[in-house]
């Protein structure tokens, strides 16, 4: 059983009248992100069928405004960007995708979840929505997909933002401690007896978000099974798939590959990140022809959800230049 609401067809579903939206407004108010003088933005859930797969996405703001494409990290969903989307929707048209095998998008029939497949999905979604010159923002896995997308389609983006991620660097040898911690969390967060057990696990993993904030967002990461247990949407479907080459994200673009991304680009690092080192972030920024680097304090790997105000300040400064 799904715990959240989303469009059941290709017809957009208004989300502003939902309890989920009211909960989001409460979180935004708690964090000082809302302006009481602003009206609620357009916010819909919708599905598009591209590349033989049903892709679920969240669309915020007016389509006539400049478009921002948001690509989430592994084991997350489009809703990981909700606070960012709410804050930007008065000025931008936001398209936040549930990437294949994540969130409320279906699992691909061929099992392919590599970065190339995800990049092709993102390109097809933008084409289906008739979007050109998008601002592309990707976090972690979504950043790798964003790199792949912009290498394949050099004229697609007007700007790019890569959040706490970098391509593989020469001399790197396997996952670092931060990446190992993420993998261990994903492996241990597949099945729970209760909501509180899930929250306990997330609090242990993510000390930057409040317990109440985590409670408000858990519906986007869990489903309730027929036996009453709560299971990870992504973990459940991954566990059901046979292990074979090609069903993981695959190799990253190289430093040489990303030199072709010549639009203005911002690398964002979490100040306490254990995934993106200062050295890796600097090397990435220097390899980008029009690269910039900023560090957001008081957060780890999940910069935009752990310090949303700090992330928005860095992002809006970059977009105004």
pLDDT per residue, tens digit, the chain (321 aa), is: 899 999 999 999 999 999 999 999 999 999 999 876 678 999 999 999 999 999 999 999 999 999 999 999 998 999 999 999 999 999 999 999 999 999 999 999 888 889 999 999 999 999 999 999 999 999 999 999 999 999 999 999 999 999 999 997 544 555 666 667 666 666 666 788 999 998 998 888 888 999 999 999 999 989 999 999 999 888 544 544 444 433 456 688 999 999 999 999 999 999 999 999 999 999 999 999 999 999 999 999 999 999 999 999 999 999 996
Are 31 and 308 within 8 A, CB to CB?
Answer: yes
Say if 3 falls within a structural domain: no
Q: HSE (CB half, 13 Å, CA atoms) of 190?
A: 12
Query: How many degrees, rounded to 5, is the angle at CA 31 between CA 282 and CA 19?
Result: 120
CATH number at residue 312: 3.40.50.1820
Q: Count how many domains the chain has.
A: 1
Say if 281 falls within a structural domain: yes
Say if 180 falls within a structural domain: no
Q: What are phi and psi for residue 7, nearest 5 degrees?
A: -60, 135
Q: Which pLDDT does position 267 carry in this prediction? A: 98
Q: Among residues 85, 83, 121, which one has the least CA distance to residue 101? A: 121
Q: Which domain holds residue 155?
A: 13-173+245-320
Helix H segments across the chain? 19-30, 82-88, 115-128, 141-152, 177-188, 195-205, 211-217, 233-239, 255-258, 278-287, 303-306, 308-320
Say if 238 falls within a structural domain: no
Say if 235 falls within a structural domain: no
Residues with Cβ within 8 Å of residue 42, at least 6 apart in sequence:
16, 59, 60, 61, 62, 89
Say if 205 falls within a structural domain: no
Region of 84 on the Ramachandran plot (φ > 0 left; ψ -120 to 50 alpha; else beta): alpha
Considering the entire predicted model, what is its pTM?
0.92
Say if 160 falls within a structural domain: yes
Say if 270 falls within a structural domain: yes
Q: Among residues 96, 114, 86, which one has the least CA distance to residue 57? A: 96
């Amino acid at each position: 059983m799904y715990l959240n609401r989303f469009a059941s067809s290709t017809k957009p579903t208004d989300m502003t009248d939902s309890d989920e939206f009211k909960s989001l407004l409460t979180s935004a108010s708690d964090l000082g992100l809302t302006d009481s003088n602003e009206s609620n933005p357009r916010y819909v859930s919708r599905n598009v069928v591209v590349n033989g797969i049903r892709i679920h996405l969240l669309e915020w703001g007016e389509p006539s405004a400049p478009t921002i494409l948001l690509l989430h990290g592994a084991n997350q969903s489009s809703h990981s960007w909700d606070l960012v989307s709410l804050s930007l929707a008065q000025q931008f048209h936001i398209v936040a995708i549930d990437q294949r095998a994540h969130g409320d998008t279906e699992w691909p029939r061929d099992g392919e979840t590599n970065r190339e497949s995800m990049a092709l999905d993102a390109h097809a979604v933008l084409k289906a929505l008739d979007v050109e010159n998008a601002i592309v923002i990707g976090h972690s896995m979504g950043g790798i997909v964003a790199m792949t997308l912009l290498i394949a389609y050099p004229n697609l983006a007007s700007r790019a933002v890569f959040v706490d991620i970098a391509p593989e660097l020469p001399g790197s040898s396997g996952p670092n401690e931060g990446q190992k911690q993420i993998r261990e969390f994903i492996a241990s967060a597949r099945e729970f007896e209760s909501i509180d057990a899930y929250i306990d696990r997330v609090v242990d993993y993510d000390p930057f978000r409040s317990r109440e904030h985590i409670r408000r967002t858990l519906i986007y990461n869990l489903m309730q099974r027929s036996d009453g247990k709560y299971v990870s949407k992504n973990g459940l479907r991954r566990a059901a798939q046979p292990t074979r080459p090609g069903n993981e994200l695959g190799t990253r673009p190289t430093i040489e590959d990303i030199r072709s991304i010549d639009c203005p680009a911002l690398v964002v690092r979490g100040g306490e990140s254990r995934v993106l080192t200062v050295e890796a972030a600097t090397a990435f920024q220097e390899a980008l022809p029009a690269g910039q680097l900023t560090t957001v304090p008081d957060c780890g790997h999940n910069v935009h959800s752990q310090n949303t105000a700090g992330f928005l300040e860095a992002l809006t400064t970059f977009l105004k230049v």
